[in-house]
Amino acid sequence: MDSVVFRVALPAALAAFVVCLAFLRSGVRQRISRDPIRLGSAHPNEVASFAEGLLSAGTVGVALDVVLNALWADGMTQHLAIPAIRNSPTAGWCGVFVLGAGLILDLWAVRSMGDSWRVGLDRERPGALVSTGLYRYVRHPIYTAMIMVGLGMALLSADIVSIPAAAILWAGVSMQARVEESFLAATYPEYNEYRMKTGRFLPKLGSPELVRKQS
């Protein structure tokens, strides 16, 4: 893959994503009068805290890999990458596509949640249960997007930072999804029915009609 992808395109994509996410965060914060990012809130057990830690570590790892490749693309290619993957145009372009689609899906899913978007568990004011749009078919499209971003970066850079980061993201997403589903099932009476009709990360085949959104 051409080094311009690592030195220009990836940093630009990351910067654009961060700006868009900050804009969405600001809008939600103004409307609900509190920060939607609830990481570090009190947890009922260590599993929830550990899951958040994995997600944070995986996210930081992907961002760090973008920065390292922007500053030292040639060195990463020569010393810290798997040559068979890093030098493969097929793997590289697949990575670009999966990564780009993941970033777009992430912003789309956040936008679809509206004022119910949270990062972490908001036990005091969780917002309404969203089951429309993307959430009609998938319970955790944001986590699907995070898996795609991690996988895309691993395919594209294939180095000792991106591959572990993708694995950590996958583990964190899997664990955090289960933690959140336990919380949502205890918070919303209709959640169990909704869960039966939707896929966790991918749509179920023949997915039935959505559960009515809580008003």
**pLDDT tens-digit readout, 162-206:** 999 999 999 999 999 999 999 999 999 999 999 999 999 999 876
pLDDT of residue 7: 95
Give the chain's domain count.
1
Tracing tokens 């030195």 back to the chain, one arrives at: 7
Domain that holds residue 125: 3-197
Q: Is residue 206 part of a domain?
A: no
In a domain, 207, yes or no: no
Q: What is the pLDDT of residues 53-106, one digit of tens each?
A: 999 999 999 999 999 999 999 999 999 999 999 999 999 999 999 999 999 999
Length in residues, the chain: 215
Do the domain assignments include residue 128?
A: yes
213 versus 152: which is more confidently predicted? 152
The CATH number that applies at residue 49 is 1.20.120.1630
Q: How far is residue 1's CA from residue 192's CA, in Å, rounded to a whole number?
A: 45
Q: What is the pLDDT of residues 114-150, one digit of tens each?
A: 999 999 888 889 999 999 999 999 999 999 999 999 9
Whether 183 is covered by a domain: the verdict is yes
Asked which of 48-52, 142-146, 162-166, 210-214 is least confident by mean pLDDT, the reply is: 210-214
Alpha carbon distance 36, 195 (integer Å): 23
Please report whether residue 146 resides in a domain: yes
Does any domain span residue 209? Answer: no
Cα separation, 161 vs 153, whole angstroms = 10
